[in-house]
Structure 1
Amino acid sequence: MSGANLSREKREQYMRVFNELDTDGNGWLSREEIGQWLKRAGYSLSETQIESVFRMIDKNSDGKITLDEFYTFMELINKPPDSTSKLRQVFTSMDTNGDGQLSEDELVGGLNRCGYQLTRQQVHKLIANLDTDGDGTISFEEFLAAFQ
């Protein structure tokens, strides 16, 4: 999602937050800036957890959170909590190593625990359909998109 898909009001609101978080004014958010934001918001997270949040937001894995990546994240966390939070719980239970991505093995394990027995070929096909960025894993955003 880019800012073009948002209403003008939301785009401006998210941009204000982004600019407040961008304390050094370089046009992107660092791990440190995200960590400070989460701490100010009252979250008591370890460095590993902050890193996981950062990687979830940093879609292209370049170590910088752009405004478009921030727009996407803000829209994700501002969706109605009923479906998103339930799907987050399912995703988190499947993400056994806590890296914010579902590997093939994690997906198979999670589906098995839910009573679904898929062949490797079916799992490969499922991943191919869900993995929109082509990195071989399923992010929460990709997982969520499958249910919308």
Structure 2
Amino acid sequence: MTHLTKEERRKYTEQFLNVDKDGNGWLDMSELGKMLLSEGFDIPFSKLENLFKQMDTDGNGRITLDEFLAQMPHVTTETERRQANLTSAFKEVDEDGDGYITPNEMKKAFKLTGMNLSLQVMQLTSSTSQSEKIEMAEFLKIFKNLFSYK
């Protein structure tokens, strides 16, 4: 098993238990897909299918907690993790759920990701009128441009 910190082990175990709604001790492909979607990963079915096969190391059609803990650190690329983190932060600050945030909410979203706001972000958000709305695609584009995110 890949070495996990206590915090990573706790986080991944919590994710697993939250998705294993029937409490049978394993995840099927549907449960894995729901978990990834709730974490901000919107992946095509073919990629989900490949990921499931990769994580189901004994090939029995079920992902146990041990398999899950061993594979989760390898599941996503850093870029995918960043995008999922930003997507989750965007959704959290989009209080009315309309798919748009204000520049002040954008600042909150960046803070939720744990990143330090750069001078560029501060200038961008302060130069944008508070009545202007930023949609998620634009938010992710701003992040990509400011932080050389691919």
TM-score, with structure 1 as normaliser: 0.45
Based on CA coordinates, which of the two structures has the bigger radius of gyration?
2
TM-score, with structure 2 as normaliser: 0.45
